[in-house]
Structure 1
Amino acid sequence: MSGKQEITFEEGIGKLEQIVRELEQKEVSLEDALNLFREGIEMVQHCNGLLDHAEKQMEILLEGPGGELEVRPADFAVEG
């Protein structure tokens, strides 16, 4: 799917909901169902990538050595 980088998380979730609705229709051909499934998997991967990126950008408020609060970039391990 071209242009995935421009799709927001919310748009991706909306697209996934649309794909699920289409797959639930009984008159979908096997070929169309496979294409929809493939597109859905790609969209899930895209949305996961957006979540990973957002997680890395989060900042956490931590207590420093002197008891003061300091803001530092989050350093989460990314699986996958």
Structure 2
Amino acid sequence: MAKKKDKGITFEEGIGQLEQIVRELEQKEVPLEEALNLFRQGIEMVQHCNGLLDHAEKQMEILLEGPDGELEVRPADFAVEG
């Protein structure tokens, strides 16, 4: 699997690459060095995708009614489980 710079990879492309890495790791005859390299790439891709999700969450806003009855925009605050 060719290593691409993470910066230009979309979330969907990252998930696709993770799926490919998993398929390759599931092969029983992957040499140890290659398996370790694939695992490292997978961890890096998970971190990249997580960063994209964090960035998207920060960009989301919720429109709520304030105490005075006026609508106001607030940053979204999503509880993260796990």
Same-fold status (TM-score > 0.5): yes
User: Which residue of 1 is the match for residue 8 of structure 2?
Assistant: 6
1:1-80 → structure 2 map (5 Å cutoff):
2-74=4-76
Paired residues in the alignment total 78
Select between 24-33 and 58-67 the one with higher mean Cα deviation: 58-67
User: CA separation in 2, counterparts of 1:6 and 1:12?
Assistant: 10
By how many angstroms is 1:67 displaced? 1.4
Q: For the Cα contact (< 8 Å) 1:19–1:36, is it kept in 2? A: yes
Question: Structure 2: where are the runs of 5+ without partners?
Answer: none
Task: Kindly report the root-mean-square deviation, in angstroms, between the aligned alpha carbons of the 2 structures.
Answer: 2.0
By how many angstroms is 1:76 displaced? 6.4
- Give runs of ≥4 in structure 1 deviating > 3 Å: 73-77
Whichever residue aligns with residue 56 of structure 1, its letter is: K
Q: For the Cα contact (< 8 Å) 1:59–1:74, is it kept in 2? A: yes
Question: Structure 1: where are the runs of 5+ without partners?
Answer: none
With the length of structure 2 as denominator, give the TM-score of the two structures. 0.83
Select between 58-67 and 11-20 the one with higher mean Cα deviation: 58-67
